[in-house]
Amino acid sequence: MPVFPAVSPRLAAAAALVVTCLSAGGCVLDGAGIRDAAKSAGLGPKEVAAPDFVEKSRRGGGGEFLPVGVSAPPRETRAKSAAGVKALEAELDASRQRNEARGRDAAKVGGAVKPPAPPKVPPAE
């Protein structure tokens, strides 16, 4: 006597196929076996070489980390001196003060304008 008498063999085969496809799909994310088989059969995406501008924009050496004990190359731009940092701070403070003054002026103008009166609705009949 069948365990599920209402399930037809065709439906059982379709369910088994779906389960197999889902489990194979999970393997694609986990390992490269099925993906490599699909590539070798010509079903996967084709490998495309990077364009010239991409190759030129990449750093030399493959982008690997520096080995332990090797110093990083010197930077092209130098850090700001203490006087340069103070000048930049003064410039930023002046810009902040200008922006705050503009905000206060805008708030005064906005406060002087009266909001429009609500519309008058005729009484319901």
> Residue 122: inside a domain, yes or no?
no
64-116: pLDDT as tens digits: 777 888 888 888 888 899 999 999 999 999 999 999 999 999 988 888 878 88
Half-sphere exposure of 119 (CA within 13 A, CB side): 3
pLDDT at 104: 94
22-41: pLDDT as tens digits: 776 665 555 567 777 777 78
Total number of domains constituting the chain: 1
pLDDT at 125: 77
For 25-33, the CB contacts below 8 A with 24+ separation are none
Residue of 51 and 32 predicted with greater confidence: 51
Q: Is the separation of the CB atoms in 53 and 43 below 8 Å? A: no
Cα dihedral 22, 24, 30, 34, rounded to 10, equals -150
Q: Is the pLDDT of residue 1 over 60?
A: no
Residue of 95 and 9 predicted with greater confidence: 95
Residue of 52 and 20 predicted with greater confidence: 52
Range of the domain at 35: 8-45
> Residue 38: inside a domain, yes or no?
yes
Q: Is the separation of the CB atoms in 34 and 40 below 8 Å? A: no
> Residue 85: inside a domain, yes or no?
no
pLDDT at 25: 64
> Residue 124: inside a domain, yes or no?
no
> Residue 98: inside a domain, yes or no?
no
> Distance of alpha carbon 47 from its chain centroid, rounded?
24
Give the predicted TM-score (pTM) of the model: 0.34
Contact partners, residue 34, CB within 8 Å, separation at least 6: 24, 27, 28
